[in-house]
Structure 1
Amino acid sequence: MDPRRQKTTIRQTKASMEKRASRAPKRLDLRGAKQRGVERGEGDLSPATIKMYDDVERVSWCPFMVSLKQNIKRRIKLCGGTILTDTLTLTAAHCVIFGVTGLYLQFGSTYVFGGRMFEATNITLHNFFDRSAFAHDIGLVSIFPAKLSFGLNVLPVKLPKKNLDIESTSWLRIYGWGATSEHQSFSEILLSTMMPLVDEKICKSLLDNVPENTFCLGYFDGHVDACLGDSGGPAMLLDVQVGITSFGEGCALPLKPGVYTDVRKYIDWLHGAMKTLH
């Protein structure tokens, strides 16, 4: 079994990042670690509990959020997504590899079982999506001929320009209904947190086989992370979606950042796929 687990939940308030940073866990930094497989104390080896911050009480704060649910062999597979158009949702490819059978999308609510529910009618995955490596982990889901009615609680997400520069010191906001720790159940209400960007070279030194066209978010000592059920959800730079939650090793483990599909690398693919898929 691949030790990397599909990503999925989250936590933090809407207070300023500067105030958060003063009491947040340390950013990933290799100054105290000379190589991968850094020796850690016994207490550091156990799975970290993800810190909880404020629930997202108002869907108007994130009207682009979508909850994907699919019944597979009597088990519910949960993922996140974002609204692209009145018929299309953006998500991770690995979230929809089982096709549209039993796949439903929920819009307009921060509760995992609320809002309006639509049945998926079609999907498209990136041509080079590799399930084993989580490479090109991006896909679209259609509800056509049904269409969304946009309003305060249901609005499309903003996509980045291909040349958008993300500063190395950036913090991104992630969202999801996933597990609050590696062995816990899904959250009933949408959760959110701010995550610091991890240097590309550092990330590749800590994780095996990081795919191209991705970036990493995380803390040196874990504690806060996406977890099971958050896959497909957005990583937001202010009001622009620059990433899609893809995978990680466990949840909130020290020296194990999460990996996110870099949406900037797929703008051309998205525009082409949106033209061919209603």
Structure 2
Amino acid sequence: MRTLILVSVALATIIVTLSMAMPPGEKIVGGQFAELHQFPYQIALFFQGRFHCGGSIIDRKWVLTAAHCVLNMNVPLPAEDMTVYAGSASLEEGGQMFKVAKAFAHENYGDSKNDIALLLLDGQFKFDDTVNKIDLFSGELKHGDTVVISGYGREGTELPASKHLKYNSMSVQDDEVCQFLMAQTGPGLICLNNEPDNGACMGDSGGPAVFQNKLVGVANFVLNECGTIYPDGYAKVVFYRDWIDGVMKQ
């Protein structure tokens, strides 16, 4: 994590911490518990047998997630130690399971920039009402648009993990804090916010943000703590569309 200094319109200085929404095992803050068939594109990524991150099915053999989910200090984690689970709303039962054949982190990932990755599976998902792909959004979001996030992360910074999938609604933000974040991380970022005590948290990394049933974002980081007044950072899928298509054609 690193510390950012943000300056408000009133010139008051506030200190926030940019934290990867990642340490293993923990859930969406606020929101509701998901039903089995509600998010067929949602996966749970396990590393060495422990829950690690979220992700989204975008093809029968491909999952989109965050780069920091497949790297440790910019060193690739062994793909053979990664397993993808889909087709369940629980970390403890049901669904389809595949090993990861290869992980592709964005080659320019670093300092919270380009935090996006693809997982190539060693098998193919069998699509049904509990497992299916999600199409990628190709338009531009507007300030105030409502998106849906989902994941298995913590329900609060200091709260224990829950094993059941949760979801919440968030609004696209284009305020001063988001403009500052984009200046630090580049244009490939979406800022999402809600009332306090709502949002992403540790363990939600790599998970989806969805608008009009299409994938618009990949969970990257939270500021300071989970569910604060500050926006959560998501990689902007449309910005990385050419990179995604290029990797999948290899």
Normalising by structure 2, what TM-score? 0.83
State whether structure 2 residue 237 is matched by structure 1 residue 257.
Answer: no
Match of 1:151 among 122, 128, 152: 128
Structure 2 counterpart of 1:225: 199
Structure 2 counterpart of 1:14: none
State whether structure 2 residue 79 is matched by structure 1 residue 100.
Answer: yes
In structure 2, C-alpha distance between the alignment counterparts of 1:112 and 1:90, rounded to whole Å? 19
Q: Which runs of 5+ in 2 are unaligned?
A: 16-27, 72-76
SS of 1:121 mapped into structure 2: strand
Structure 1 counterpart of 2:218: 244
In structure 2, C-alpha distance between the alignment counterparts of 1:181 and 1:199, rounded to whole Å? 24
Structure 1 counterpart of 2:118: 140
Cα deviation for residue 180 of structure 1 reads 0.7
Structure 1 counterpart of 2:10: 34
Match of 1:212 among 178, 187, 190: 187
Cα deviation for residue 269 of structure 1 reads 0.9
Query: What is the identity, as a one-letter code, of the residue corresponding to 1:54?
Result: Q
Cα deviation for residue 37 of structure 1 reads 2.9
After superposition, the C-alpha distances for 1:70-129 in whole angstroms (9 at most, x for unaligned) are: 13xxx8352100111111111011101123142110010010123222111111111211
In structure 1, C-alpha distance between the alignment counterparts of 2:205 and 2:34, rounded to whole Å? 18
Asked if 2 retains the 8 angstrom alpha-carbon contact of 1:91 and 1:232, the reply is yes
Match of 1:61 among 38, 41, 51: 38
Structure 1 counterpart of 2:96: 116
Asked if 1 retains the 8 angstrom alpha-carbon contact of 2:150 and 2:166, the reply is yes
Query: What is the identity, as a one-letter code, of the residue corresponding to 2:238?
Result: R
In structure 2, C-alpha distance between the alignment counterparts of 1:214 and 1:185, rounded to whole Å? 28
After superposition, the C-alpha distances for 1:131-177 in whole angstroms (9 at most, x for unaligned) are: xx111011111112x1111111111111012xx12121201110000
In structure 2, C-alpha distance between the alignment counterparts of 1:198 and 1:154, rounded to whole Å? 31
Between 250-259 and 114-123, the greater mean CA deviation after superposition: 250-259
Query: What is the identity, as a one-letter code, of the residue corresponding to 2:197?
Result: H
Asked if 2 retains the 8 angstrom alpha-carbon contact of 1:206 and 1:255, the reply is no
RMSD: 2.4
In structure 2, C-alpha distance between the alignment counterparts of 1:243 and 1:135, rounded to whole Å? 14
Q: Percent identity over the alignment?
A: 26
- Structure 1 consecutive aligned stretches of length 4 or more whose deviation exceeds 6 Å: none
Whichever of the two has the greater Rg, that structure is 1
After superposition, the C-alpha distances for 1:201-251 in whole angstroms (9 at most, x for unaligned) are: 4423479834431011113x6211100000000111020101000012233
Counting strand residues as a fraction of each chain, which structure ranks higher? 2
The count of residues paired between Structure 1 and Structure 2 equals 229
1:207 to 1:160, Cα distance in 2 relative to 1, 3 A: closer
Match of 1:76 among 38, 50, 53: 50
Asked if 1 retains the 8 angstrom alpha-carbon contact of 2:60 and 2:125, the reply is yes
In structure 2, C-alpha distance between the alignment counterparts of 1:180 and 1:253, rounded to whole Å? 9
Q: Which runs of 5+ in 1 are unaligned?
A: 5-29, 40-49
Cα deviation for residue 198 of structure 1 reads 1.1
1:170 to 1:182, Cα distance in 2 relative to 1, 3 A: same
Query: What is the identity, as a one-letter code, of the residue corresponding to 1:66?
Result: I
Structure 2 counterpart of 1:19: none
Normalising by structure 1, what TM-score? 0.75
Asked if 2 retains the 8 angstrom alpha-carbon contact of 1:172 and 1:236, the reply is yes
1:243 to 1:36, Cα distance in 2 relative to 1, 3 A: farther
In structure 1, C-alpha distance between the alignment counterparts of 2:243 and 2:117, rounded to whole Å? 10
1:184 to 1:101, Cα distance in 2 relative to 1, 3 A: farther
1:51 to 1:243, Cα distance in 2 relative to 1, 3 A: closer
Asked if 1 retains the 8 angstrom alpha-carbon contact of 2:205 and 2:218, the reply is yes
